């Protein structure tokens, strides 16, 4: 499974990068979201993945009796998910605003200078 996740991370990052190199603002935003997901899984994987052992202590016990999944990456990812939602929500609304203003999804239409495309 680790190998599969690693391939998945590579794909998420690759797709994210590809999308942020596009001219469309929506694609840019999707790219950022994909990069974020990739990073989340990366952190998740690096903490070591454990099946079916959530880091929750038993009802009756005060300590873990068994091995448990690493809680730190989970705490980090939880924060990351929430923050990235804040970013996404703001970006989506901003996008709508820009679209209302310039009537285009093309980043180049926002440029004021007249330089040619590279």
Q: What's the angle, vertex CA 87, arms to CA 74 and CA 2, rounded to 5?
A: 35
Find the length of the chain. 118
Contacts of 37 (CB under 8 A, 6+ apart): 12
Q: How far is the CB of 21 from other proteins (least distance, A)?
A: 4
Give, as ranges, the residues between 2 and 21 that touch other proteins (CB under 8 A).
2-15, 17-21
Told to check if 108 binds other proteins by CB under 8 A, we report yes
Say whether 8 sits in a helix, a strand or coil: helix
Size, binding site for other proteins by CB under 8 A: 93
Give, as ranges, the residues between 36 and 95 that touch other proteins (CB under 8 A).
37-38, 40-42, 44-59, 62-64, 68-72, 74-75, 77-79, 81-90, 92-95
Q: How far is the CB of 51 from other proteins (least distance, A)?
A: 6
Told to check if 113 binds other proteins by CB under 8 A, we report yes
Q: How far is the CB of 78 from other proteins (least distance, A)?
A: 6
Q: How far is the CB of 98 from other proteins (least distance, A)?
A: 10
Q: How far is CA 74 from the centre of its chain?
A: 14
What is the secondary structure of 74-110 as a DSSP string? HHHHHHHHHHHHHHHHHHHHHHHHHHHHHS--BGGGG
């Amino acid at each position: 499974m680790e190998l599969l996740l690693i391939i998945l991370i590579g794909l998420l990052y690759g797709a994210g990068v590809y999308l942020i190199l596009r001219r469309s603002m929506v694609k840019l935003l999707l790219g950022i979201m994909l990069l974020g997901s990739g990073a989340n899984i990366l952190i998740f994987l690096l903490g070591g993945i454990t099946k079916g052992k959530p880091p929750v202590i038993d009802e009756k016990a005060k300590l873990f009796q068994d091995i448990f999944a690493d809680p730190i990456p989970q705490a980090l990812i939880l924060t990351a998910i929430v923050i990235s939602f804040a970013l996404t929500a703001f970006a989506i609304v901003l996008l709508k605003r820009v679209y209302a203003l310039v009537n285009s999804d093309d980043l180049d239409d926002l440029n004021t200078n007249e330089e040619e495309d590279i």
